[in-house]
Chain A
Amino acid sequence: MTRRNVTRAEYCVIACAEAWRDNGEVLASPMGLIPSVGARLAQRTFSPGLLLTDGEALIVGADGVTEGWLPYRRHLTMVTGGRRHVMMGASQIDRFGNQNISCIGDWDRPARQLLGVRGAPVNTLNNAVSYWVPRHSPRVFVERVDMICGVGYDSAAAAGPSASRFHRIPRVVTDLGVFDFATPDHSMRLASLHPGVSVDRVREATGFALTVADEVPDTREPTAGELRLIREVIDPAGTRDREVRG
């Protein structure tokens, strides 16, 4: 399979799937289309131990067979017990991985009310939390988020050992690349670029100073088998291309 045949959305799927590599028997909670395709790809290939839900209250295997019951209250036990890796969305995210889905502007009287904190505070203190941002822009990648819902590395450290004990943000995936916090101060680093994206483009789309190494690798190529699974089995309708074009 040659590179030009692979769409940006498919690189995003691969980058999301990689988040769950070597996770073992944990619940993969993907939020968003492309993370969902990625989680299912990971489960069908290199992370067969992953548990996935039907989006409601059932745990379903790769073949669609129900293998467990997971209503909301039990889901919260998976969260606090740490046997889960969620990939959440972010309306805003900052340099240390603080994330906001609650509101834009002053919390007391927001310019734009969004969803609310939801489970972001409990997620980030208890199980691995990665993020998915389908449109990387300076409005999302901000210097400081308006309301800390998902806890970033600096906030967890400031809140003390109880907050940082199980805190981990493995990666942030966007339509431009993959980011992590593998720096001495846990600030965000460009880990890989999706093929066709330049470092300058990422810098322009990011509202804070990003750590960028001299040599940034490309996001890895999907294998022929992975492409077939994505295109023919997991997402034959091509919903991924509606979330990320090009």
Chain B
Amino acid sequence: MTAEEAVARLDSGMTLGIGGWGSRRKPMALVRALLRSPVTDLTVVAYGGPDVGLLAAAGKIRKLVAAFVTLDSIPLEPHFRAARERGAFELMEIDEAMFMWGLHAAANRLPFLPVRAGLGSDVMRVNPGLRTVVSPYEDAEELVAVPALRLDAALVHVNRADRLGNGQYLGPDPYFDDLFCEAADTAYVSCERLVETAELTARAAPQTLLIKRHTVTGVVESPNGAHFTSCAPDHPRDEPFQKAYAAAASDPAAWAEFAARFLPPHGSEKDYRSAVRTWHEEQR
């Protein structure tokens, strides 16, 4: 399917998990399609990067569940900062291990999983809904009960996939993409290249088959679909473009210009790629 078709299956008010980590292997083509869609009022669950920044800037986030938002080589995400500083959305700020166990709980159909993390920190203060449990064994330890982070839909980007939804990562880190898919009722996987099933293991080990088709609703072929985040080994992060993004995001007038050029409301992914190409030529 196309990114537009995937996004057409999403509704306003949904809880949406977005894979990748920081400014790494983010399903940016799907996020861009989401930006062009009327879908809004989202609860976004992510190891946040520019996906969160862009959706926040577009006013599409009602609530964010995250441990951080970063662009990696640029530590602070300007749109996220601005949105937080103007109180633009509700935030469930939890530790990154708590976040992982919340996804595990959802994937395993458990209401919560116990973790030590969170105790003694202000994560407990700013999330008054968080509860603790006492171990029923002799140790009687008090632990945080991280609630399941069940998702209506997940969006992830991988290197290769087949039409059935078997997804493969070829980079060094799976991040939590399979967990996002397993924690979700529906999942849309974009990939650098759509291949025949046999081709997936022709040159790579079966351990690279991260995402299983039974957890996937739709597959979108989107070369460079993680741009400007990294998608090793297919492409590194586009650092000059990320720099331009961050500079524009720090200033409303500059952002309006940037958005009009690269993310126009009636544009397409193809238009985006061509605008980026032209921009790079201008930089030479």
Contact = CB atoms under 8 A, between A and B. Distances in A.
Interface of A: 56-58, 69, 71-73, 76, 79-80, 102-103, 107-122, 124-126, 147-151, 155-156, 158-163, 165-167
Contact of A103 (B84, B86, B96, B97): B84
A58 B198 CA distance: 28
A103 B76 CA distance: 11
A163 B87 contact: no
Contacts, number: 138
Contact of B173 (A56, A115, A159): A56
B196 interface: no
A167 B109 CA distance: 31
B116 A116 contact: no
Contact of A151 (B75, B121, B143): B121
Interface in B86-143: 86-87, 93-98, 100, 115-123, 125-126, 141-143
Contact of B122 (A126, A149, A166): A149
B27 interface: no
B84 A125 contact: no
Given A57-B172, A73-B174, A119 B122 contact: no
Interface residues of B, number: 41
A193 to B, nearest CB: 30
Nearest to B121: A121
Contact of B117 (A114, A122, A147): A122
Contact of B123 (A71, A111, A121, A126): A121
A149 B93 CA distance: 10
B93 A159 contact: no
Contact of B119 (A58, A73, A163): A163
B66 A71 contact: no
B21 interface: yes
B80 interface: yes
